[in-house]
Amino acid sequence: MEHKRIRIGMVGGGDGAFIGAVHRIATRLDDGFELVAGALSSDPDRALASALRIGISQARSYSSFTTMAEQEKQREDGIQAVIIVTQNHMHYPVAKAFLEQGIHVICDKPVTKDLDEALALKALVMQSGAFFALTHNYTGYPLVRHAKHLVDTGVLGDLRVIQVEYAQDWLTENAENTDNKQAKWRTDPEKSGLAGCLGDIGTHAFNLACFISGQKVKQVSADLTAFVSGRRVDDNVHTMLRFDGGAKGMLWSSQVAPGNENGLRIRLYGDKAGLEWAQESPNELWLSVLGEPSQRITRAGPGAGAEANRLSRIPAGHPEGYLEGFANLYVDIAAAIHAIDAGADVQSVQGFIPSINDGVEGMKFISAVLASSAHNSAWRPLAASVSTDSSRED
């Protein structure tokens, strides 16, 4: 069945923004979307200059996201979905404005600044009937999907151990006191939320562990540190994890680990076999069946399953990764939006796409980790009503 391109708008992502450009490239790889409107900056001149540079007309360049939501809803050719690539503290108000207009929302992670906002946003999503997707892009990698398939089909047996880490080095020094705009807002709790490294990349590690394993984290014991003097949010995280399916795990997330650029890595071990995947070598997955030689499974190569092959874009042996992983997520998002607009139930087309529920789980994780670390690493549950005040006593 042939589909027309989905008309999209973007909030945030103006000149100098990294992740906005990544989203725009990802939406174009499969020609499923058309970017027609944007509130790329709150500064009207910068918003317009950014819009014109990427092909958005002056008439549909906005400096106010609320105005954009209202006016796009009134147009016959208005946007069907909006992509939110703002700083964390703006995710909730922007998503709220578009959901209230019945416009589908695609939001960068973490879903909101804190858990209270995440729960309020979930209620809005349910009320609106609109589609909501959270761009945990690593779930779009072919071999991540294959790893999930191997776990789901029992190849690993009963999961026992889940080890996940995400290490970077770009905040090893006090970059927020330079002209580094990314460092400034990501270390400002008013804009990032109370979590620094934990919210920025720790949530990716958490999401990946839950996505592949199919299990939810039920308790955490955490130790957060701000190693750089004067830093107001964490830059290193150690967390022990207890999963609802019986597995035990550990999560390390750091932005002060020299020699690490984007070191996302996960290992899962069951009573029959183990798996290992690393984002910097995304085209290979290692499967180690107990008592047998380790097997290297490559993207589009022998042993890769149907879901992995569906998402493989080029022949085996050619490098494929970050942009394609993002684009694969947008392929599924496009299919979901088309299905919903044709009258299908939202939940029936969710599939592999991270949802508002995944966003809430991520914020519950952040809240529980903050509370645990504030209380000498005491075990804390991921309860739905966990307070965002990490200093409170239970």
Q: Are 62 and 126 in the same domain?
A: yes
State residue 387's pLDDT score.
Answer: 42
Q: Can you give the pLDDT at residue 53?
A: 96
| Residue 168 near residue 196 (C-beta atoms within 8 A) | no
One domain, residues 105 and 200: no
Instruction: Mark whether 107 and 217 lie in a shared domain.
Output: no
Position of tokens 């957060």? Answer: 224
Q: Are the CB atoms for 308 and 145 separated by under 8 Å?
A: yes
Pairwise CA distance, residues 122 & 113, whole Å? 14
Q: Are 127 and 14 part of one and the same domain? A: yes
Specify the range with the lowest mean pLDDT, choosing from 6-10, 375-379, 385-389. 385-389
pLDDT digits (tens, 9 = 90+) for 70-86: 999 999 999 999 999 99
Beta carbons of 301 and 294 less than 8 angstroms apart: no
What values do phi and psi take at 285, rounded to 5? -130, 130
Chain-centroid distance of CA 168 in Å reads: 17
Q: Are residues 155 and 119 in the same domain?
A: no
d(CA 156, CA 276): 12
In sequence order, what are the beta bridge partners of 381?
A: 219
- Asked if residue 212 and residue 292 are part of one domain, the reply reads yes
Asked whether residue 381 is assigned to any structural domain, the reply reads no
pLDDT band at 2 (very low <50, low <70, confident <90, very high): low
Nearest Cα to 128, choosing from 61, 82, 63, 85? 82
pLDDT for residue 347 is more than 80: no
* Same-domain check for residues 185 and 224: yes
Q: Answer yes or no: do 229 and 160 share one domain.
A: yes
Going by C-alpha positions, the residue among 371, 376, 335 that lies closest to residue 352 is 335
The tokens of 206 are what?
């958490």
pLDDT at residue 369 tops 50: yes
**Distance from C-alpha of 271 to C-alpha of 265, rounded to nearest angstrom:** 21
Q: Is residue 36 part of a domain?
A: yes
Residues 87 and 57 occupy one common structural domain: yes
Angle at 201 between CA 200 and CA 202, to 5 degrees: 105
Q: Give mean pLDDT, residues 323-352.
A: 88
Q: What is the domain range of residue 70?
A: 6-138+329-355
> Tokens 């959901």 label which residue?
99
290 phi and psi angles, rounded to 5 deg? -55, 125
Q: State the total domains in the chain.
A: 2
In a domain, 243, yes or no: yes
- The answer to whether 188 and 232 are in contact (CB under 8 A) is yes
Q: Which two tokens stand for residue 108?
A: 């960068």
Q: Is the pLDDT of residue 33 over 90?
A: yes
| Range with lowest mean pLDDT among 277-286, 296-305, 335-344, 368-377 | 335-344
> Which contacts (CB < 8 Å, 24+ apart) does range 310-313 have?
311/140, 311/141, 311/142, 311/145, 312/142, 313/29
Q: Residue 265 pLDDT > 50, yes or no? A: yes
Does residue 77 sit in the same domain as residue 211?
A: no
pLDDT tens profile 237-263: 999 999 999 999 999 999 999 999 999
Q: Is residue 387 part of a domain?
A: no
pLDDT at 305 over 80: yes
Residues in the chain: 394
Percent of the chain with pLDDT over 90: 91
Question: Same structural domain for residues 44 and 63?
Answer: yes
pTM equals 0.94
Given the DSSP bridges, would you call strands 6-12 and 81-85 parallel, antiparallel or unpaired? parallel
Q: How far apart are CA 255 and CA 62, in angstroms?
A: 35
- The CATH number for 161's domain is 3.30.360.10
Q: What is the CATH number of the domain that holds 340?
A: 3.40.50.720
Distance CA 289, CA 276 (A): 12
pLDDT over threshold 70, residue 392 = no
Same domain as 149, residue 43: no
